[in-house]
Amino acid sequence: MGMQSMQEHYPVMAGEVIEYLAVRPEGTYADCSTGLGGHARRIAGLLTTGRLICLDRDAESLEKARLQLAEFGDRIAFRQSLFSQLRQTLASLGVEKVDGMVADLGVSRYQLTDPDRGFSLMVDGPLDMRMGRGEGPTAADIVNFSSENQIADIIYTYGEERRARKLARAIVRTRPHRTTLALARVIEEAAPRTGKLHPATRTFMALRMAVNRELEELEALLDQASEALATGGRIVMLTFHSLEARIVKTRFQQWARDGRASLLTKHVVRPQQEEVRRNPASRSAMLRAAQIEEPQSTRDGEK
């Protein structure tokens, strides 16, 4: 059942995620970025009396995951939730602490390939890029109404794109922009292709990260995670981008210095060659994991 439909959705580094999470059958776990439910399926399959809380900011992805994971019944609770709403969402389910959490920061393949969502360079669609449909400014709002400097900063900071100034100038000169392919063409004309990567790839990624406040949301998740994890609880993070990877690495090291957590991954863990061959989208994945330790002080006693 369901295997065919899961076929195109390989959860990245699934074996490693499960290994580092060390799932206990009676534990409570949170998948903070459920997507289509690939990691969730593996976690739920290891539970007996435990429960899994499946969170995602995208209601459509969550609905698809709910169908994929229907066989697990009430072992799983589904909630639409931003990273920054983690504690509040857990509290609404009567959960104060979880025994483990995973967050996969990759964009779901479903979002990338659905033209209506406006993430893709390959199919035409509206310049949207919001992971949660009703969530605020779209990519079109940014490219059409921000100043040239603001656009250049976004492309340079989030896309780590050296040609940011030149691209921002071209974007502003050819406004308004309404569709993904038209914007991609403007960028390609301003900065012709030099390698295998489409010249608009970094700009599109930068717009997506800005629209969804991805780095701010990641910081908020990490702020709340160390409080939401029980002593001995584990957190497994999958990043695909150097900025995200740096935030996770820095935060885990900070926790380790404070005695709040121990690092389970001394060095970043990368996918094996076989996985990359089967699922090329996994090639930039970086896994880091940490375990929450007994607090030094009586912080635990505070409510």
* The pLDDT of residue 110: 61
Same domain, residue pair 207 and 240: no
Instruction: Pick 86 or 123 by higher pLDDT.
Output: 86
pLDDT category at 303 given cuts 50, 70, 90 is: very low
Pairing outcome for strands 51-56 and 28-31: parallel
Tens-digit pLDDT profile for residues 43-61: 999 999 999 999 999 999 9
Q: Is the pLDDT of residue 7 over 50?
A: no
Q: Is the pLDDT of residue 104 over 70?
A: yes
* The pLDDT of residue 9: 62
- For residues 159-167, give the mean pLDDT: 96
Instruction: Give me the number of domains the chain comprises.
Output: 2
* The pLDDT of residue 116: 82
Same domain, residue pair 205 and 221: no
Is residue 128 in some structural domain? Answer: no
Is residue 89 in some structural domain? Answer: yes
Burial 204-229 (b: 16+ CB within 10 A, else e): bbbbbbbbbbbbebbebbbebbbebb
For residue 95, the number of C-alpha atoms closer than 13 Å in the C-beta half-sphere is: 23
Range of the domain at 67: 3-110+215-301
- For residues 208-227, give the mean pLDDT: 96
Q: Is the pLDDT of residue 3 over 50?
A: no
**CATH code at 161?**
1.10.150.170
State pTM to two decimals.
0.90
